[in-house]
Amino acid sequence: MEAAEKAMKLDKGAAAIIAEPERILEVHIPVRMDDGSVKVFTGYRAQHSTVLGPAKGGVRYHPSVNLDEVKTLSFWMTCKCAVAGLPYGGGKGGIICDPSKMSKGELERMTRGYIDKIAPCIGEKLDIPAPDMNTNGQVMAWMMDEYSKIKSQYEPGFITGKPLGMGGSEGRTAATGVGIVVAALEAMKVKKVDPKKATIAVQGYGNVGSWTAKVFAQKGCKVVAVSDINGGIYNAKGFDMKKLDAYYNKNKTLKGFPGSKNISNAELLALPVTVLAPCAMELQLVKENADKVRAKMIVEGANGPTTPDADKVFDKKGIFVVPDILANGGGVTVSYFEWVQNLYRFFWDEKRIVERQTEMMQKAFKKVYETSKEYKVSMRVAAYIVALNAMAMPMKMRGIC
């Protein structure tokens, strides 16, 4: 952000406002556990900005959730929505808990309690939650049901990521993976790389990583390496993603897939591939391993997988980096489509959704790439310039700064 501010000479007042979230809510949720005891969980909701529209962002359940994390992620969501050209600001929420140690009933009671506590600050025109780490369509369904009870009316538009049949959208499950591939294909165009000759390594095989790998294969690219929490696998000839996906769904691991070689996560990151797509956790590409990366381009599927020190190394090596706030914007783009469909009670088919998502992401990539050339900065700095410009103009016109 500081690099973008310096390059674009952002108004100091606007910079000071953007540096802090508009609103932070901390709540404490008493939950009756299955053994009869009562446990109090701490939850957060941060609304970074509503300058461009309602706050938008997921809710995560994890033991490491903390206020600083939620604030930072809400800022990222503001930038991601601005880069994608969506009428949203950024929000983020979370509860400090370990969902793996909770029953379905305990999770439901905690989820409903969270919505009860944050209800005054959310809504389809104020703040629209969505799934994030360890939350899914079932959790969103509980949230929608609880909020509808509070409002005494059906409220599907207040939340996205819902199951189909409950206001959910076609194409939502694959949306982030589709968007990553769209960004990668646009990067290949500007770098004059033939997708049919491209090799791909995908770190992470959750929803984002698995769909990224599958969509790359559908586009004719050769996926030569993938990894999950247990490690990675490699095949220079490329994987049949239908067979690999079936194997993973059956065995819950990638290791042992016929015809593959087991590799470590570190080895996957260092493979000489066309595209490295980190789609797992943050802080995977750091100063200590950046010099070992041999990919021609990095397309960030995860939030914050690259540190600033690693970015400097990639810049010196000439590795083209498509930043997270551009590359993984497919999820929030299709969430926007879901919201619009809920508002109008009129739904589109998956073909139309993928076409619109592709058009919007291609437009966003073009704008960021042109900005990088205009200011002679990296794609990451250019993406922040695009985002900050999108916020600064309406702030000035509305008299906020």
Which residues are identified as catalytic? 92
d(CA 63, CA 177): 26
Q: 């049901």: which residue's tokens? A: 145
- C-alpha distances (whole Å) from 191 to each of 321, 325, 400 are 12, 20, 41
d(CA 274, CA 7): 30
Contact yes or no for 195/187 (Cβ under 8 A): no
- C-alpha dihedral (280, 282, 288, 294), degrees to nearest 10: 50
Instruction: Give the up-direction half-sphere exposure of residue 203: CA atoms within 13 A in the CB hemisphere.
Output: 29
Q: Reading across the β-sheet that carries 320-322, which strands appear in turn?
A: 261-263, 231-234, 222-228, 199-203, 275-278, 297-299, 320-322
Pairing of strands 320-322, 261-263: unpaired
- Of 127, 60, 151, 115, the closest CA to residue 339 belongs to 127
Residues 6+ apart with CB under 8 A from 271: 201, 224, 225, 234, 294, 295
Contact yes or no for 218/289 (Cβ under 8 A): no
Contact yes or no for 187/362 (Cβ under 8 A): no
Instruction: Give the up-direction half-sphere exposure of residue 281: CA atoms within 13 A in the CB hemisphere.
Output: 8
Give the pair of three-digit tokens for residue 20.
């802090």
- 43: helix, strand or coil: strand
Q: 């999108």: which residue's tokens? A: 390
Contact yes or no for 62/47 (Cβ under 8 A): no
